Amino acid sequence: MPTFVNTPPSTRLINFKNIEFTNSNLLSQISIIRTEGIQYDLDLVLNFDNLTFSDIEFKSKGYLLNLDQQLPSNLTISNSRFMNIKQGIINIASTKVENPDLLASVHLFNITAENIQENEASFLNVEQEGRLFVSDSSFKNMYIYQDGGVLSGGSSNTITVISNSTFENNSALNGGVFNVKEQSVIKIYSCNITSNFAITSGVINVVSNGHFEIYDSLIYNNHANKNPVSQLLDTAETSVISNTKIYLNHAFSKASIISEFSSCSQLCFVNQNFRDYSSSNFLSEMSETHNEYQFSLIFASLSMISATEINQESLVVDSFVSTLEITDTVIRDFTMEAIAIRGVSSTISLTNLSFVNFTVTDQVDYILDTLDSTLSITNSTSIIFRARSSQVNIQGLTYGLIANAIELGVISSCYNSTISGLTSTLSEVLGRSLLRLESSQNISLSNAVLKNTQKSGVRILSSNMISITNMNVLNCQDGVYIESSTVELLQNSSFESNGNSSKINGGALHITNSDVTLSDNIFRQNSAHDGGAISFTCTSTSLCSLSIPSSIFEMNNATERGGAVYYDYKRPTFGQGIKYFKNSAQYGKNIASYAVKIVFEGTSSDVMKLENLAPGITYDETLKFAVKDYDDQVMVLDSQNQISLTAANSTVAEMKGFNVQPLVNGIASFDNFIVHTNPGNQDVIITASSKAIDQIKIRNVFGSPISNNTIEVDTRFCKPGERIVDNICNTCSAGTYSFAWNSTECNQCMDDAICSGGTEINVNPGHWRVSLNSTSVVECINKEACDGGFQNSEIQPTNCATGYQGNLCTKCSVTENDKYQAVGGFVCQKCPNPILNAIRVIFVGFAVFAYFMVLIIVNVRKTSESEISILLRILTNYVQIISLSLSFSTKYPSSLSDILVPAETVGSSSEAFLSFDCFVMDSEIKGPFPSSIFFKIFLLIWLPLIIFLFVTLIWILIYYIKPKWVPNLTRNLVISFVSIVFLLHPKFAQESMNLFRCVKIDEGVMKTRIDTDIDCYSSEHGKWIAILGLPILVIWVTAMPLFALIVMYKKTRVGEESNVVRQYFLILYQGLRLKHFYWEFVNSLRKVCILISFTLPTSAQIMFALGVLLITWRLQDFLEPYKLRQNNEIEIFGINISIITLCCGLIFNQEKTLASLNNILLIIMVIFNILFIIKWLYLLFLTLGTKHAFFRKLAMLMRYIALQRKRDQFLSTEHSKDHTEQLQRIIKNKQFRKKFKRRQRRKKKLLPKGGMKMKLKMKDQASKSRMLRSE
């Protein structure tokens, strides 16, 4: 702490001690102690110690101590008390100043002053070069109606130094504690200044070039209407505050002061007399407003240095045409309701200034606000500033979390400014941007780091000559926004993770109506609705330029347009140094703009040409136009505009119909427009236009349209499906069609189809058409396989059901995902799992072999006839004949097919068993055959030999292991071979005949029925007939049965049943008369002949089959080959039903048959087939009834249903055999034969003429039985 030292040595000491002045009333201008007129050159030292002044009142201003500093040495007053003084002051002045450096000083030490009231001057009044030192003192409850509640320094270069003192509860008009003016200075060290009050300047008032210095002190809870700490007015000297805590100083409004003075709450410390006087004299003239700034600078200068800490609810500094320097200072723990530091036409320098733990309310936007000033910020923290019309220099400014901040920095109308080291790591900023440059020029922004904001990182508005380098913008919701500005260069900067999906334009950089150059920047993982990294928008070309010579765009994303860059007016200049990596958007993963041309979809050329356009009818193809941008990208997001097609010359052509279509994802599809012109006209020009293409914008930007958007049209002549009417190609109407060019008429639709007009013919379900130009509709072999309908395919114009394909949908489809196999009757079934299917084929193969083995064993062991076996053979013959009858190409009602489907299933059971297409496909063993069906026929040729080989091995094995089980190996082998051949004979006959069958697929086009891809009786067809058909037909169908027939004939020609026939061929003739042993061969021949008829036309098929059935019926009736009458009757009844079925088929095949007649015939067919089943069951139960009473009762019931005669007897098979053998022996007796003939003649006489010979024959067996019993 500085002190003044007297140069002359003190040689004479005068001490005043223990002096007390109390309870005095004195006149004005009286001095209790006064020093005056002391000669300067005297060696004199004055000391006052332990003075007491109490309860003293002057009438007006008086002097407790009136000290003239014209002394030879310093004057000291110590350990003194001043209590309850009114109008008494301590005055320190120099009456004559010749050499101020030699003036003595006054020292006050350990002074206590309380309850002092002054009206005209401060308690300590320093004037006229006065020098005052105060230390270790206390000044409380002092008030004055003038300036300076405790001390006033003024009147020319006074110096006051105060240390280690306390100033509390003092009041004044201006300067609640101090008032300094006129080039005077007050220096304060380590003092506590608390709870003082003034109308202006609650602590210290500075005017007229006065100034102060405060060090290491505390300024707390001081109050004022204006500036609770200090107002500095019109002073060129710089006041200093260093290492001082300033907090909780308040400014009160006029109304608040009046209220406080009356209620005595916060300002209760203010003396009641002062309150009363102020209310009467000061408050009435006070303005309603109040100045909350701690410091107010008006033409002044203030420096806060050395870690000054300000903890304050009120504002800090208001500067007008002043200089403010704040260095190494912390301002903390307060809520901002107005601008904390305000400067107008000032010079403000902030170095190492930190704002800590404060909140900005909705009433304030900035902490620092300058206007027409010079602002310098260096290495500071959290200064939310606005600079207007100022020159700004920022070198290091860091922001932490600031609640409710709108913008961290605004530079408006500024010039020649430099901003470097701006850093923001905020996690929440509510408002517009971190930094806003507005209406400024020549601004340099460098080394900035802007992170984690909910709004823009930087906004540049209406500014010029802006330069930005080394800026890092990270995780800002709006990135950088540039509007109506010129950014000469933005380079070496990084933009990462800015924007989001709700951001409209430019996740990292949104440029509008500006000239900007970007160089060597990195844009990574930014996102927005349009322009994931950059959005460049303009309204004119005057201020619209974006140049990007080099930058990196990586993993930027746009919700809709432009993953990297989007522009809507003038195209940016893209340099060779640009690199794109993994950017994404719905439209334009790297660059997106606006529509400039219309082209055909899938092309990039604007030269469009339509050929073969049909004049006068709706365009039958889909014509797709794409709207594209400058970069040849389809405007996939445009679903609002339309494309319109109009004729360029309306006299040549005219557009009608749906010539205006909406854009869907940038594509307009035209399939219903009409061009009216002459057929074959090749001079038609169509113009494509759309509001999506702004021609004015394109002309302004590019100087001329980019695309002509015209279409050259060559119209064609009328094609199939159309007819010429008045030079217009009219499509054939529904119900008609046409397949000829330039036709003038349309043909009526064919049967079994629906013509939709043109060339579209929808075939009815169950029918098929070979090609698009075919006029023949044929019925499918399997109606369920053909869905009918229409599809525009030359390969297959008719739809097949799932799993079917090929001509007449007879082939089973095979794809990578699904495979289908034929299971008989041209029915396709989905293939099972290949492994499971292979197991199933092997298992079924073993099962079939076991079945054959069981039948062979049964036949081997059989030494007598079985009536049940005979009935089963009759039923099998019936089922096979009915199945063949339903296989004719006849239009039987579907209901009949459904009823008799079991018969068809039984008849085709062997084919279903042999359908192992999936196994063949999976194992790839088809060989050289065109399809699996030929391979199966090839296997069928060798099947008897394969089965016989395995059976032979088994018999030989048994023969050597258990010889008694095989007493006759030759008999076993012969019976096995005969059984195998005759069990497979129907399949041999059917498959061999199928190779010869053909089917019509089109007019004059026949295909083989077994494989509809092969032409009927072509060289390929003949090859397979020779390789497969003839061997089966010759060897198995003809040679083997014929060989057996010859052998049996030779052995029975003598009319006796030889042992050879009974041993080896019993299975072929059991139940038959011996002389009719061949009857089973006749039945087989009957089936072969019916199968041969399938190669004929439909009507010829039925007629030929009817002839075969009638012949066999006549032979059956005449020969009666079965031993038992009922067997002959049931087989004839089955033949009759087959004849009825074929006759009904002829009627069903007629086109004009009445529906009622069809229903009657259907009922008749169903009744007769049911009746056959009932009769057959009756015979079965009749046979079983010989051993079981239950079946006897069933037979009695069935007899009434079957309408059988009562005289039928229950005969067992064995009894029938014995009866037949006995009958044969008796007939050989001549006497019996004569007697039998006489009885027959008597019966004939009893019949009327013309009687039925048939009736006698039907009764023949019964007569013979009765004769046998009589014998």
User: Which range (320-334, 676-690, 693-707, 1136-1150) has the least confidence?
Assistant: 1136-1150
Instruction: Report yes or no on whether pTM surpasses 0.85.
Output: no
Looking at per-residue confidence, does 1234 or 623 come out higher?
623
Domain assignment of residue 4, yes or no: no
Say which DSSP state 1072 is in. Answer: B
Same domain, 177 and 225: yes
* pLDDT mean over 197-216: 92
Check: CB of residue 175 under 8 Å from CB of residue 207. Answer: no
Residue 253: what are its φ and ψ, rounded to 5°? -75, 170
Mean pLDDT value of segment 1236-1243: 61
For the record, the structure tokens of 1144 come out as 């009904």
Q: What per-residue string of b and e applies to 895-904 under the rule 16 or more CB within 10 Å gives b?
A: ebeeebeebb
1018 domain-assigned: yes
Question: Would you say 1212 and 1185 are in contact if contact means Cβ atoms under 8 Å apart?
Answer: no
Q: What is the pLDDT of residues 711-749, one digit of tens each?
A: 888 887 888 888 888 767 888 888 888 888 878 888 888
User: In this structure, what DSSP letter does residue 556 have?
Assistant: -
624 lies in the same domain as 741: no
Res 296 pLDDT > 50: yes
Q: What pLDDT is stored for residue 1064 in this prediction?
A: 64
**Maximal CA-CA distance, the chain:** 207
Q: Give the H/E segment covering residue 744.
A: none
pLDDT mean across residues, the chain: 78
Neighbours of 592 (CB within 10 A): 29
Span of 445-459, 807-821, 902-916, 1048-1062 with lowest mean pLDDT: 902-916
Q: In the prediction, which pLDDT does 1261 show?
A: 47
pLDDT value for 1200 = 65
Residue 1222 reports pLDDT greater than 50: no
The answer to whether position 41 is within a domain reads: yes
Q: Which of 120-134, 389-403, 1016-1030, 1234-1248 has the lowest mean pLDDT?
A: 1234-1248
| Pair (785, 703) in one structural domain | no
Q: Cβ distance 200 to 231 under 8 Å?
A: yes
pLDDT tens-place string over residues 950-990: 878 887 887 788 777 777 777 777 777 777 777 777 777 77
Q: Check residue 579 and give its pLDDT.
A: 94
Confidence tier at 854 by pLDDT (50, 70, 90): low
User: Does 258 lie in the same domain as 173?
Assistant: yes
pLDDT of residue 583: 95
Distance CA 597, CA 585 (A): 21
Same domain, 107 and 223: yes
What residue numbers bound the domain in which 1032 lies? 831-861+908-1060
SS (HEC) of 783-850: HHHEEEECCCCCCCCCEECCCEECHHHCEECECCCCEEEECCCCCEEECCCHHHHHHHHHHHHHHHHH
Q: What is the 3-state secondary structure (H, E, C) of 1002-1043?
A: ECCEEEECCCCCCECCCHHHHHHHHHHHHHHHHHHHHHHHHH
Q: Are 627 and 673 in contact (CB under 8 A)?
A: no
Torsion of CA 359, 360, 363, 369, to 10 degrees: 140
The region of weakest confidence among 357-366, 414-423, 424-433, 521-530 is 424-433
279 and 170 part of one domain: yes
- What token pair was written down for 1268? 């046998």
Domain contains 991: yes
Predicted confidence at residue 521, as pLDDT, reads 95
Give 1146's contacts (C-beta < 8 A, 6+ positions apart): 890, 1099, 1102
Q: Is the pLDDT of residue 903 over 60?
A: no
Decide if pLDDT at 1248 tops 60. no
Give the model's confidence band at 906: pLDDT under 50 very low, under 70 low, under 90 confident, else very high. very low
pLDDT at 649: 76
Q: Tell me the per-residue pLDDT of 33-81, one tens digit each, with 9 for 90 and over.
A: 888 766 656 667 789 999 999 999 888 888 888 887 666 667 899 999 9
**Nearest Cα residue to 844 out of 941, 903, 910, 923:** 910
Residue 897's pLDDT is 53
Residue ending a domain, choose from 273, 303, 320: 320
Structure tokens at 207: 């005017």
Report phi then psi at 1155, rounded to 5: -65, -35
Confidence of residue 113 (pLDDT cuts 50, 70, 90): very high
**Does residue 285 share a domain with residue 150?**
yes
Per-residue pLDDT band at 1105 (split at 50, 70, 90): confident
User: Which pair of structure tokens corresponds to residue 645?
Assistant: 């097609």
Domain co-membership, 647 together with 730:
no
Assess whether pLDDT exceeds 60 at residue 1268.
no
Residues paired with residue 304 on neighbouring β-strands, in sequence order: 241, 326
Domain boundary among the residues 320, 346, 361 is at 320
* Distance (Å, whole) CA 365 – CA 745: 86
Question: Do 740 and 854 fall within a single domain?
Answer: no
Q: For the chain, how many structural domains are there in total?
A: 5
Burial of 492 (0-12, 13-18, 19+ CB in 10 A): middle
Q: Is residue 38 part of a domain?
A: yes
Q: Are residues 674 and 730 in the same domain?
A: no
Q: Of 299, 320, 341, which residue is a domain's last?
A: 320
How many angstroms from the chain centroid is the CA of residue 844?
A: 51
Are 57 and 24 contacting, i.e. CB atoms less than 8 angstroms apart? yes
Structure tokens given for 789: 């309908």
651 found inside a domain: yes
Determine, yes or no, domain membership for 768. yes
For the segment 573-601, the average pLDDT, to the nearest whole number, is 91
pLDDT tens-digit series, residues 1033-1047: 788 877 777 777 777
CA 734 to chain centre: 43
670, β-bridge pairs: 623
Greater model confidence, 1185 or 1005: 1005
pLDDT at position 520 over 50: yes
Residue 242 pLDDT > 60: yes
CATH of the domain at 639: 2.60.40
Residue-by-residue DSSP string for 607-620: -EEEEEEPBTSB--
Q: Which of 349-358, 511-520, 945-954 has the lowest mean pLDDT?
A: 945-954
At 547 the pLDDT is 94
Question: In this structure, are 190 and 210 located in the same domain?
Answer: yes
- Are residues 793 and 673 part of one domain? no
In which region does residue 825 sit, left (phi positive, over 0), alpha (psi from -120 to 50) or beta (all else)? left
Residue 1186 or residue 544, greater confidence: 544
Q: Which two structure tokens, joined as six digits, stand for 712?
A: 């050259």
Q: What is the mean pLDDT of residues 757-772?
A: 85
Residue 548 lies in a domain: no
Other beta carbons within 10 angstroms of residue 1194's beta carbon come to 18
CA–CA dist 1266, 1 (Å, integer): 167
